[in-house]
Structure 1
Amino acid sequence: MSMYPTVAYVLDPRFRGGTSSAVAAELDLVSGLARVEVHALSTAMFSGRSVAPQLGDALARLTLPLIWDAREIAADIVIFHNPSCLKFQDTLATRIVANKLIVVTHENFLRPGGAEGFDVAKCLELIGDSSTVLQRAIAPISPWNRQTVDSWVSTQSPKHDWAVQPWDWFNICSFEMQAPTPHPADRRGRHSRPGFEKFPQQDVMDLCFPEAAEQNVILGADSYLRDGSAPAHWTLYPFGGLSVSQYFEQIDFCVYYTAPTWRESFGRVLAEAIAAGKIAISDPQTAQTFDGAVIGAAPSEVNDIVRRYISDPVRYQRDVVSGQGKLGKFSSTAFEATFNTLLGQMPGGPR
């Protein structure tokens, strides 16, 4: 046993978007609290892709090697990020040995309406069968994500015993806060990966990004660029087509809805918008993660919300600053305090 607890991360590092940014931020923090290893799995889900840039940059910055497809992973704590990466696997060849195994659920167990988001039992069974541990735990990342986990657990009988962590394994959102504009205009935008599940049906997009708006910026609009179906009054950029900071310079309102059969498990794009000094609007279930920092509303209400803020710039600024304050619950300091409690339960304790 080492002097300090050892923490092994297990993931397929080729996933893109908010999840990779969240794990990168976590590695930055946890590498200062424990002896960290990062183990990569070559799953079919991300076959042919390269390591996500955010993760690659973090690993280089921390001088942490990426260990691919190890036969055995042994640590005090093993943190398995995004178990849905195993949904196309029939086996998991890696053996996991740990005091505690934590599976962080970046994908909701259930979709809106109650259908499974992926074959949860299969993925958990693969991990359970490949692990020799004292404790197994599932760690939801948000209130909505937790609801889907709790609902699934209450109706299923997984092969192995899995406790549900009592606290959310939230995305660390330690962004630099930008001041809100004193003169908000009807400049709207949304950004995400280009997956079909990230976008609502066309009538919702039309409601949220109308011709009457001064600006409608869609970052991650790869599908619209391919088929040419977007209205002429939208400004389209492919995923990665411009930096997030450049995107935020063009908008005052982040309007974010997804397909009706899918919902964000956390909503990191909304936290980014708040930190950038914008009003963020989304569905009520996604908004609940942010304790009022994100406005939960139906798409039909968006135009009125935007109009009210434009007519009351003082309220716009006040609500943005208030929302930025609420992001403190997702700070590095908040995550560190909880993680140190976890480390304190291990032999050696935190530094």
Structure 2
Amino acid sequence: MSGIGRLRRSASRAYRRAAGTELHRLREQVDELAGEVHVLRARQQAHGPAPTETADIAMLTDMRLPGGTTASLAEEVIAQHDAGLTTALIHAQSGITSLSTGFSPHIRRVMNLEGVHLVSPSEPLRAGLLIIRHPKAMATAASRFPQIQAEQVVMVANHPAADAAGHTEYDVALADARARAAFGAAPVWAPISSVVRESLAQDAESIVLRAEDWPNIFGRLPAAGLARSPGDGVPVIGRHSRPQREKWPDTREDLLAAYPDADDVRVEILGGAEIPQTILGELPARWNVLPFGEEEPSEFLRRVDFWVFMHHPSWREAFGRAAMEALAAGCVVVLPPYLETVYGDAALYAEPHEVRGIVQECWDSPEMFRRQAQAGRDYVARYGPQAHLRRLTELGVVTP
């Protein structure tokens, strides 16, 4: 019987035994076993190095997450690999997602790199630095990581602790306490942007907060995707994101203001449109919609002039990777005004009803369009691999 088969049978027996006050702990044990299954499955798929008991850097998150968390982690792994550093990837089976499809494609693409090791949360490991991505992964992890040791612990907060309506997204105190209990050291909290830092303000007295933010990095600046000159034909408004309710405006008026159904503009969407379809009743005939994962963002963005991201009023974007991809591709990016503290002059800012006016003004001025597109690419260039290596150096990590 394979290791995965034994673990699955153990999980099944645990569920059958669950009753009364034991139910919660048994469910935790089942989740922990499920996490071990994912690690074993990934090891079977990987052709890279065997497990290790030491690493320069350990990186812990729920490796199943399909979006920006694992994409950004993967970019950091590549930067560490290119610098000659060893990395241990630790899967935290958590309550963030119920996906059972294994590790995300972002993780699968880096787990075969030389010096990158998959480590079970129950296995022994000693690392100079442990980077935890997503506090909720720590707060809700099934494992207690009994044999993981690290000289320093950084908690990368890649999402606000509360949304715009004040609803808690994750328990800061719980994530902090569980990290302290597991690793014997107070984690240094590293928000990825000013938006996240602001959300941690009420907990600033009880946690160790890094003086500087920990923005996501972007590995390689692609060639600008603009295939035609501004003013040539109608402008193309586009967006790509995961198909979640909070990623979209919540009213018909705001949806059609930001993403018009009109002859003088085209709309391209990657990531599905089930949410707006529910709100609108039917999708506008002039929208071209592709499902999430149907096309690589880099290819999709070659068709987009203006990347417009308007969302639910309760949502707060932290440091969106999709926005960085659009800036890197040479799109003019239009965002809600609160994000100006993050992106500065790299983007334009508007409420939904202001989008069309900004798009048309910029489209009618090729000079303005090119200047804004270049400002976006210049911004992304500041967040390359060297930015990550510099912060590792500040933490005492020595590259070979």
TM-based fold match above 0.5? yes
Q: Does 1:230 align with 2:283?
A: yes
Q: Does 1:265 align with 2:311?
A: no
Counterpart in 2 of 1:17?
A: 67
Alpha-carbon RMSD: 2.3
Write out aligned runs for 1:239-254 (5 A). Answer: 239-254=292-307
Shift of 1:86: 4.3
Counterpart in 1 of 2:371?
A: 318
Larger Cα-atom Rg: 2
Counterpart in 1 of 2:191?
A: 140
Counterpart in 1 of 2:345?
A: 292
Write out aligned runs for 1:7-46 (5 A). Answer: 7-31=57-81, 32-46=83-97
Q: Gaps spanning 5+ residues in structure 1: where?
A: none
Instruction: Give the 3 Å change call, closer, same or farther, for CA 186–226 of structure 1 in structure 2.
Output: closer
Q: Gaps spanning 5+ residues in structure 2: where?
A: 1-53
SS, match of residue 60 in structure 1? coil
Q: Contact between 1:328 and 1:334, CA under 8 Å: does it hold in 2?
A: no
Match of 1:196 among 238, 245, 260: 245
Q: Contact between 1:182 and 1:314, CA under 8 Å: does it hold in 2?
A: no
Partner amino acid, structure 1, of 2:350? A
Partner amino acid, structure 1, of 2:249? P
Counterpart in 2 of 1:69?
A: 121
Instruction: Give the 3 Å change call, closer, same or farther, for CA 275–196 of structure 1 in structure 2.
Output: same
Shift of 1:72: 4.2
Which structure is richer in relative contact order (CA contacts within 8 A, separation 6 or more)? Answer: 1
Q: Contact between 1:139 and 1:164, CA under 8 Å: does it hold in 2?
A: yes
Counterpart in 2 of 1:329?
A: 382
1:112-166 superposed Cα distances (whole Å, 9 cap, x missing partner): 1433222222222222221213x52001111111111224335xx4xxxx31111
1:272-322 superposed Cα distances (whole Å, 9 cap, x missing partner): 111111100011222421221011221121111001011101210121112
Partner amino acid, structure 1, of 2:244? G
Instruction: Give the 3 Å change call, closer, same or farther, for CA 224–110 of structure 1 in structure 2.
Output: closer
> TM-score w.r.t. structure 1 length?
0.88
SS, match of residue 322 in structure 2? helix
Shift of 1:263: 1.3
Distance in 2 (CA, whole Å) between partners of 1:41 and 1:69 is: 7
- Aligned residues, how many? 337
Distance in 2 (CA, whole Å) between partners of 1:256 and 1:35 is: 37
Shift of 1:183: 2.6
Distance in 1 (CA, whole Å) between partners of 2:67 and 2:95 is: 18
> TM-score w.r.t. structure 2 length?
0.78
Partner amino acid, structure 2, of 1:118? Y
Q: Does 1:183 align with 2:230?
A: yes
Distance in 2 (CA, whole Å) between partners of 1:215 and 1:124 is: 46
Distance in 2 (CA, whole Å) between partners of 1:169 and 1:28 is: 17
Write out aligned runs for 1:203-214 (5 A). Answer: 203-212=253-262, 213-214=264-265
Counterpart in 2 of 1:126?
A: 178
